[in-house]
Amino acid sequence: MNERQKIPAVDRVLLQLPDLIEAHGRQPVTACVRAELAAAREGARHGLPLPEEAALLAAIRRRAEASARPHLRPVFNLTGTVLHTNLGRALLADEAVALMTEAARSPCALEYDLASGGRGDRDDLVCELLVELAAASLPADAYAATVVNNNAAAVLLTLNALAQGKEAVVSRGELVEIGGAFRIPDVMRRARVKLVEVGATNCTHERDYAEAIGPRTALLLKVHASNYAVVGFTKSVDEKAIAGIAHAAGVPFVVDLGSGALTDFTAFGLPAEPMPQQALAAGADIVTFSGDKLLGGPQAGLIVGRKELIARIKKNPLKRALRVGKTTLAALEATLRLYRDPQRLAARLPTLRLLTRPVAGIEALGQRLLPAVQAALGERAAVTLQPCASQIGSGALPVERLPSAALALRPPGHRTGKALAALEAAFRALPIPVIGSVQGDALRFDLRCLEDKDEARFTAQLAQLKF
């Protein structure tokens, strides 16, 4: 009898896996059984012995569990970048998660006016809050807001609605690229707006703006150069002056703030970040900013500005294509409400809590973790606790660093590239993958974003490290 004939029948194998079928369903488990049997058959064809029954069943279990695991998995972000775009940016406050969950579960008054019983507007859920917070010092009845999928969408929509077929004037120093696919000149083209560049890379003067204005000018745009800094001999024109030039020419002034902090970061000991309040008070007619950067909310693009301009933006057909859903609006509303109470903001808003975390607390956590991590690694790496500098991320405050502490894992020897890659891979393979960063000869885990409440979950899984 040859090996192939000894391959068990699918049904016979299934009989031994009632609990797995109960957990995952008959069809997915059957698919796993077939896949493992096919692998065994293939192995046998190449002269390999058939797996023992126990090994076969274990492989089927592993396959079923792996395929049932969600692709979007939580990780420990120990990269040192707090708002990490690839790791999902801002963590939502409990209040936001609660309202979002409720909106997801039950019918909600998304576009329904409960007072009149008539049709409502989804932007109304957050419009008042946004105007109250972002246009704080201005007459509330002259301002309005609308929400789209992200800030890239906000810029695209604003430009298309206010300047399609016409010109927008931008400083050369602000023609930025933000993370690969978002370049201001490309967005302008897609919005069907002609870009008129003014000034030089490092210097733009008031007269540059004034001279660029002509009969086809539809707006003046300022873009916050979020992810880089121009240093040395530089000159840019402040918002008040650009607003003056725009208004003298009878065109609106639009500011893409990028991150946009809704509260004064210096009050929390953090570096200053441009605020929508300041831009609007300086005369900007429209500001756009992200929901999931420093604001600490869900992915969204917020557009706040003069009522008549917001009305034009909302009438544009692109708005419908770029609008957000109920769960986003729920998370955004709850997040914005937290800003009404600045005293408790740093405790309730995870982004701000992480950014303001005292370094002494981070170091204390490091001291507690060090023995456990060292024990889990044995000879594979020497673990030390060392000072490091976190960055805010997502283009916010690109040159500023926050003092922090990191576990540094150093494999022995000199040429440690492979050993480092193996260490990284082992931590990524944990049930909650741990993502660090390789710096020189060490794998570094910046502990800023490992909150004390997550300590037990972090250490519990160290025993499962496999090399």
Binding site for ligand PLP (CB under 6 A): 150-152, 155, 178, 182, 223-224, 226, 256, 258-259, 290, 301, 394-395
CB of 258: closest distance to ligand PLP in angstroms? 2
Q: How far is the CB of 316 from ligand PLP (least distance, A)?
A: 18
CB of 283 to ligand PLP, least distance (A): 19
- Which phi and psi angles does 259 have, rounded to 5°? -75, -55
Which CB, 178 or 254, lies closer to ligand PLP?
178
Between 100 and 184, CB nearer to ligand PLP: 184
Buried b (16+ CB within 10 A) or exposed e, 144-172: bbbbbbbbbbbbbbbbbbbbeebbbbbbe
Q: Shortest distance, CB of residue 187 to ligand PLP, whole angstroms? A: 8
3-state secondary structure of 357: coil
The owner of tokens 């309202």 is 99
Least gap, CB of 149 to ligand PLP (angstroms): 8
Six-digit token string for 308: 């008549």
Tokens of 385: 């606790």
Q: How many CA atoms lie within 13 A of 184 on its CB side?
A: 22
Instruction: State the nearest-atom distance from the C-beta of 290 to ligand PLP, in Å.
Output: 3
Helix, coil or strand: residue 452: helix
Amino acid at site 121 = D
Measured from the CB atom, is 28 or 398 closer to ligand PLP? 398
**8 A C-beta contact, residue 356 and residue 346:** yes
Q: Which is nearer to ligand PLP, 217 or 290 (CB)?
A: 290
In the complex, minimum distance from the CB of residue 288 to ligand PLP, in angstroms, rounded to a whole number: 8
Of the candidates 197, 180, 199, 201, the residue with the CA atom closest to the CA atom of residue 188: 197
| Cβ-based nearer residue to ligand PLP, 150 or 171 | 150
Minimum distance from CB of 147 to ligand PLP (Å)? 12
Q: Which is nearer to ligand PLP, 290 or 335 (CB)?
A: 290
Compare residues 150 and 236 and give the one whose CB is closer to ligand PLP: 150
Backbone angles phi, psi at 106, to 5 degrees: -130, 160
221, amino acid identity: L
**CA 174 to CA 209: how far, in whole Å?**
13
Distance of alpha carbon 293 from alpha carbon 256, whole angstroms: 13
In terms of CB distance, is 258 or 305 closer to ligand PLP? 258
Q: Which residue is nearest to ligand PLP (CB)?
A: 258
Nearer to ligand PLP, 81 or 416 (CB): 81
Cα torsion 145, 149, 152, 153 to 10°: value is -70
To the nearest whole angstrom, how small is the minimum distance from the Cβ of residue 331 to ligand PLP?
14
Rounded CA gap, 206 and 284, in Å? 16
Distance linking the first and last C-alpha atoms of the chain:
39
